[in-house]
Amino acid sequence: MFAAYVTVTIVASVFNGIAAVTYLIGHDYPKAQADMKRLPRSWVPRLGMLLAAGSLGLLAGFVVPLVGALAAAGLVLYFVGALIAHLRVGSRKLVGGAVFLATAVAALFVNLSYHW
């Protein structure tokens, strides 16, 4: 179980860390996504900071398991919100968000399974 916990947590952290960097450097993709979802572009850096916090929180969970569980739960909520935002505007491009949601759910599951 330890190997699954470490692997899933690192994969989820890397996925979200890369997404956070994309949001924080001002790449066009997150801006286009914000426009499509009718969100203010001023939210893009804030969303990037949430992703970065989740990514770092997952890694901090190796030291403080509760922090990792809370970070994973926060990422689950983040991606549920992202999927709702897509559905709200009629977008059916849900695969990317679903993959990120699945990694966050998996990270939460392995964290809770391993530590509790």
- How many domains is the chain built from? 1
- Structure token pair of residue 52: 């970065």
30-53 core/surface letters (b: 16 or more CB in 10 A; e: else) = beebbeeeebeeeebeebbebbbb
Residue span of the structural domain in which 53 resides: 2-115
pLDDT digit string (tens) for 14-63? 999 999 999 999 999 999 999 999 999 999 999 999 999 999 999 999 99
pLDDT for the residue numbered 116: 83
pLDDT for the residue numbered 93: 87
pLDDT for the residue numbered 108: 98
- State pTM to two decimals: 0.94
